[in-house]
Structures are given as structure tokens and as C-alpha cells.
A and B are shown apart, each in its own frame.
Chain A
Amino acid sequence: MSKMKALVCRECGKEYPTKAIHVCEMCFGPLEVKYNYDEIKEVISRKTIADGPNSMWRYLDLLPVEGTNFVGPHAGLTPLVRAKNLGAYLGLNELYIKNDTVNHPTLSFKDRVVAVALTRARELGFETVACASTGNLANSVSAHAAAANLHCYVFIPGDLEAAKVLGNLIYKPHVVEVEGNYDDVNRLCSEIAGEHGWAFVNINIRPYYAEGSKTLAFETVEQLGWKTPDQVVIPMASGSLLTKIWKGLHEMKYVGLIDQVRTKVNGAQAEGCSPISTAFKGGYDFFKPVKPKTIAKSLAIGNPADGYYALKATAESYGAMDMVTDEEVVEGIQLLAQTEGIFAETAGGVTIGVLKKLVKQGIIKKNEVTVAYITGNGLKTQEAVIDAVGRPTRIQPSLVAFEKTFKLRKNGGGDA
């Protein structure tokens, strides 16, 4: 029997075969993968995982693919950094950064979900993959498709920044620039996915694609010595990452890898696009869509597909949500870089900004084991910090000028 039992509707519970479908035919609710946990429990152990590859594929038994012909074989298993400096600054004794700024191959957590999506798409017989994206997802799909010899279409809004377009073109996919805004691209891609036999990673392959996010939870627990953290802070765009980290933590319990889940999951958004956090803080179980206006563009989803489920997961875990201004996003990026040497993209600034707020509010306490998820590399969003980092100190090319500028005396210490 396959480890995948079925695709199941998250609303009405109706089950479907594990094909390229994403919406329940009965109630139009979203589908997700249901597993045979009892059977997985028989084969998975801490040892089988430790003996597995040095990538996220070491958790293969809990991922929705059937074979081992992986697309993206090196994704995941990124460092869990003990952030002593940032912890000391914030007043936390045991803070960790899950550092997906160095994920392979395109330096964001999207390499996890895309690796799963394209591996599954190839298993299902697709030769063409596609996505609708404004940034990290397009980079990752383009790179993985190139390496896997898959045809690739990337749909982007017509007004996307040149640097982001270049980041896709280098892999030579078909980059389709749609004359219109974000909503127009959104609608068009939904219609194309319905009409053409392509694997749209974030549409008809979404049930598989989203499962890749669970590996962030698996790795965190393994890297903490098979313990769940007390608190996690997760950036939210669609809300899928948060819901899947919550799912992943519980799956480890279902299959006997850990005894209990004691984690509070906390969600982070930017004020300029915070439909989920706003609903949470207002005490609602539903959100109102917004028009995004924030520098944290990788989180700028105004009508998030998993917003409702993120609210539910956070409530179940007794976690919290909050949001930060664009100024706080930049401060968060700087703080992480200057304390831990990790240059995060704007989503990372959101996570650090909200972490700081939650500590200040007493929601995250000094002795709690806390993990902050940093999901993308700062080299991708340099424009966000260009006005905040200052300029180099300019000097004449002489020793005297150097020593005078920095008020240094000869033999004043150093490595010589």
C-alpha cells in the first residue's frame, strides 16, 4: 500500500485519488494529502532519518512522492543557528534561527516546496510545469525545471521589477509577462490551469507542493535533538507555511518520532498586508482581503488561500500573531544581519520584527526555546535596505589617511 492514502477535502472530508487535482468537486474546498500513518510508523525511525541523505529528502516517508528520482535532491537541511547575540539583545536565553537564506538552489524556502511539487509532477507524467509568481517561487521553479529538463512557463505581472525578471530569465523558462496587474495574472493562471494539461505548482499541484513546507518542522525537531520548540515565529503570505509546520510537528508525533507537541505557533505579517494577523488580533475566525502595500513583497498576498487554516492552527496551539511596519521590517533585517551575520530578505525582517514585539509583550518568555524561520536571502531584496545601510568610509590611498580616519595608533593591537 502507498504511504499516501488519498487527497482529502479540508472542508467536507471527501477523498480523492492522489492525482493532479486541488479542489473538492463536492464543496470546492481545498484538498490536502492524507497519509497511512500506521504503515509509515512501521518503517520510519530516528535512525532511518539519520541514515538518509543530507537534504530534506531524509524525511521521504512523510512526503507525497512515490519514488526516489528527486527533482531538487539538495534542497533543505539548512542550518539551525543558535542565535546567542540576537537572543541576548532580545532577552531570550535559547533562540534559534532556521536559516533558509542558504537553501539550495535559489536561496529561499521555496526550494523545498518546489522540489516536492516537481518530483510529484514528473511522477504524474507531466512534462510542462508552470507557476504564477512575483519572485522566489518563479526563481525556484525555473531553476528546478532547468535541471530536470522540464518545459517551464512562469507568469508574472507586467510591472515587475527588472531584477526579478532577470532572476527568472537566466534559467531560460518561458517568462510570460501579462499585461495587467497582480489580480489579472491570478485570474488568468487559474483559467489556464483549468484548460491545459500542465503542472501548475501552486494550483493543481498545490496539495503536494504545500507538503514540502513540513520539512522545516521536521528539521527543526531533529536539529533540536528530537524536541519540539516552545515557540516558533513564522512569516505568513498565503498562510500555508504556518499550517504545514503545525501539521509536520503533529505528524512526527503520529509516527512515534516524538512524544508530544508543545509548540506555540506564531504568525508574522507586514502591516501593509496583514489580513490574517488583523483577523487574529480582532478575534475573528475569518479575514477580510486587502490590497497589499508593503516592501515585504514576498508576503504580499491580499486574499490568502490558507488564511483561515492559519488562524485555526495558531488558535489550536495557543500561539499569537502580530504585524510590523515597513520601517520595522528594515530594522529587523539590520538587527539579524548585525547580530548573527545573516542577511535576510524582507520576509525575514517581518519575522524578526514580530519576534521582537512578541517578546516585548511577554508572549514569548525568556527561557522558552524559540525558533524564528528566516525564509529568503537578503541579496534578493537589496532595494529594501539601500537607504538604511549608510555609505563606505572613503579615504585617500595612504596609511596616514587610514590611521587618521579611524584614529588608530601603530602597534595598537590586532593580528600582526
Chain B
Amino acid sequence: MAHQSHLRFHIRFPEDKIRQPIIYQIGHEYNVVTDVRRADVRDTTGWADVEFSGETTEIERAVEGLRKKGCVVDPIELNVVE
């Protein structure tokens, strides 16, 4: 059985995609469960803290899919390289 993971991300949406259901789309396009825990969406900016559950490789594909839609995806800790 493939390795199951629960990975948490901070996702920032591009201004022109704020009104699109991107998290919903990702949950349908890839075999991952998305769980939004915190978010802030305004007129020109938006972000969400989300946990993705599923096979590690599928989560990686989903993250790549988010990036292709123009989202910036970081670990939940944001930048840790100091």
C-alpha cells in the first residue's frame, strides 16, 4: 500500500483567481482530501491554510496542480530556511 500522508500548506491565491473554487477543484482533480482550517479572502488578496490527506505522490501532484493554477504553495510554517 502506498504511503499515506497528511501534509499542511499555506496557499496564496492570485488576484484573478480569488473568486474561483480552487480548493474544491483540486479535491476533484486529484485523489486527495482537502481540509481548510483557516483562511482570509479579501477583494485583492486571499490565502488558506489547508491539510491535504492522501498518498504522498498524489499530494505532490495536487500541489503541482495548484501551482499551475497560479497559486503560491508553502509549507504551513512558511519559510523555515534562516
Contact = CB atoms under 8 A, between A and B. Distances in A.
A305 B7 contact: no
Interface in A38-75: none
Contacts of A26: 37
Contacts of A304: 78-79
Most buried by B among A157, A286, A305: A305
Contact of A28 (B38, B40, B74, B79): B38
Interface residues of A, number: 42
B23 interface: no
Contacts of B7: 191, 194
B81 A186 contact: yes
B37 A185 contact: no
Contact of B81 (A110, A182, A286, A288): A182
B81 A28 contact: no
A282 to B, nearest CB: 12
A192 to B, nearest CB: 11
Most buried by B among A131, A289, A302: A289
B33 interface: no
A305 B74 CA distance: 11
Interface in A95-112: 110
A200 to B, nearest CB: 8
A27 interface: yes
B76 interface: yes
Interface string B64-78: 000000001011111
Interface in B25-67: 37-38, 40, 45, 49, 51
B16 interface: no
A11 interface: yes
Contact of B8 (A28, A137, A202, A237): A28
A286 B45 contact: yes
A237 B82 contact: yes
B77 A23 contact: yes
Contacts, number: 83
B34 to A, nearest CB: 13
Contacts of A157: 81
Given A27-B49, A28-B49, A189 B81 contact: yes
Contacts of A22: 77
Contacts of A302: 79
B49 A132 contact: no
B82 to A, nearest CB: 5
A12 to B, nearest CB: 9
Nearest to B42: A286
B79 A186 contact: yes
Contact of A301 (B10, B40, B76, B82): B82
A305 B80 contact: yes
Contacts of B12: 289
28 contacts: A23-B8, A23-B77, A28-B51, A28-B76, A131-B82, A133-B82, A134-B82, A136-B82, A183-B74, A186-B75, A186-B80, A190-B75, A190-B76, A190-B80, A191-B7, A191-B75, A238-B82, A286-B40, A288-B45, A289-B12, A289-B72, A289-B74, A298-B82, A301-B81, A303-B78, A304-B79, A305-B78, A305-B79
